[in-house]
């Protein structure tokens, strides 16, 4: 062990039992000098034992669960963690630091000032500053002052606080869906027919006005293209959509009584090369009237292409917040 530490190896001694750590420390403190021949013999024996290992296994339930994450059901993983106790999941502060700010903010608001001060002290500085800025002034000042009093808090107390806070999240039931309900339903309505979408939105608004408001913000359809798609990204869309689908979508939208649909067609044609735009206009004139069903399908294909580009990181839709900041 002395040789490894001298060579700068990162040896996780803390993973040993407390008894073994005590014995190791005592042994290191009692030894004084080892000749080269003995050192070489010990290192050779150690190397042979390492090379003879065919397979190693996780140490404890925490590491086993980490190894099997995504391969066993969330229900089974949650039950095993609960049966073994929160302490089995490893360092609770690692779990807490990985949480989103939206989940940490209620902890700061609900816990005592002293606990909130410890929590704030254990978070990365940028996240701590972000959370502090979201608190009301008087509360933020109380917690900030309490941070100055944490100098004498013992490691055991910090560990207990971490375990208590982490336990609140370990008791959360596993979710069947990763995405928020607004995002899931919004994605479905994006590619639904306009009639179906409008009817459902009207009905949802009568049942839950707040959910309906969030849903309308999440929906992205053909009419939203001019307001949400950066002009520089329009050529990417025209390359992504099959030519016949693009042609039908543009032709149907331009002939629609809905001025917003026609505006989307003009937006697309105005932000591609002049030669390509003229070619599309000629083909649109030759195509003639497009059936509503075919037009809806074609416009949904354009929307789907935009969504795929966004998911791939090749296109970033403009949000209301971006417009307000501008």
Q: Is 26's pLDDT higher than 50?
A: yes
Q: What is d(CA 123, CA 94) in angstroms, rounded to the nearest whole number?
A: 9
Rounded-to-integer distance, Cα 170 and Cα 89, Å: 9
Give, in degrees to the nearest 5, the angle at Cα 191 between 185 and 197: 65
Q: Which fold has domain 220-325?
A: Annexin V; domain 1 (1.10.220)
Q: How far is Cα 79 from Cα 85, in angstroms, rounded to an integer?
A: 10
Task: Give me the DSSP letters along 125-184.
Answer: HHHHHHHHHHS-HHHHHHHHHHHTTGGG--HHHHHHHHHHHHHHHHTSPPPS-SS-HHHH
Q: Looking at the predicted structure, is the pLDDT value of residue 179 above 80? A: no
3-state secondary structure of 98: coil
Q: What is the pLDDT of residues 239-271, one digit of tens each?
A: 999 999 999 999 999 998 888 999 999 999 999
Q: What is the mean pLDDT of residues 283-312?
A: 91
| Token output for 80 | 């095993």
Q: Is the per-residue pLDDT at 88 higher than 60? A: no
Structure-token pair, residue 41? 């013999």
| pLDDT for res 325 | 52
Nearest one of 250, 245, 247 to 261, comparing CA atoms: 250
CB 86 within 8 A of CB 167: yes
CA 247/CA 295 separation, integer angstroms: 10
* Domain 91-170 class, CATH top level: mainly alpha
pLDDT band for position 83 (cuts 50, 70, 90): low
Interval 47-60: pLDDT, tens? 898 888 888 877 77
Where in the chain do CATH 1.10.220.30 domains reside?
91-170, 220-325
């Amino acid at each position: 062990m002395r040789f490894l530490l001298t060579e700068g190896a990162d040896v996780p001694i803390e993973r040993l039992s407390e008894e073994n750590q005590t014995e190791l420390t005592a042994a290191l403190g009692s030894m004084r000098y080892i000749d080269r021949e003995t050192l070489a013999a010990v290192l050779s024996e150690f190397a042979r034992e390492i090379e003879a290992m065919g397979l190693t296994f996780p140490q404890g339930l925490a590491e086993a669960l980490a190894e099997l994450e995504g391969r066993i059901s969330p229900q089974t993983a949650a039950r095993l963690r609960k049966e073994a106790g929160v302490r089995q999941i490893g360092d609770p502060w690692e779990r807490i630091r990985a949480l989103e700010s939206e989940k940490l903010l209620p902890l700061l608001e609900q816990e005592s000032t002293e606990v909130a001060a410890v929590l704030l002290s254990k978070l990365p500085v940028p996240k701590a500053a972000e959370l502090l800025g979201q608190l009301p002034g008087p509360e933020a000042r109380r917690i900030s002052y309490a941070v100055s009093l944490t100098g004498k808090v013992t490691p055991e107390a910090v560990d207990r606080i971490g375990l208590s806070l982490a336990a609140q999240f370990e008791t959360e039931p596993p979710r069947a869906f990763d995405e928020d309900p607004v995002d899931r339903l919004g994605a479905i309505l994006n590619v639904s027919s306009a009639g179906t979408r409008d009817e459902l939105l009207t009905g949802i608004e009568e049942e839950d006005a707040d959910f309906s408001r969030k849903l309308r913000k999440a929906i992205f359809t053909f009419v939203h293209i001019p307001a949400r798609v950066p002009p520089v990204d329009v050529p990417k869309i025209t390359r992504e959509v099959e030519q016949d689908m693009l042609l039908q979508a543009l032709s149907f939208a331009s002939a629609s009584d809905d001025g917003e649909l026609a505006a989307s067609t003009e937006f697309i044609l105005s932000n591609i090369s002049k030669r390509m735009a003229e070619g599309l206009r000629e083909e649109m004139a030759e195509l003639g009237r497009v059936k509503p069903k075919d037009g809806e399908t074609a416009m949904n294909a354009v929307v789907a292409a935009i969504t795929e580009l966004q998911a791939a990181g090749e296109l970033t839709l403009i949000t209301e917040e971006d417009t307000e900041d501008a």
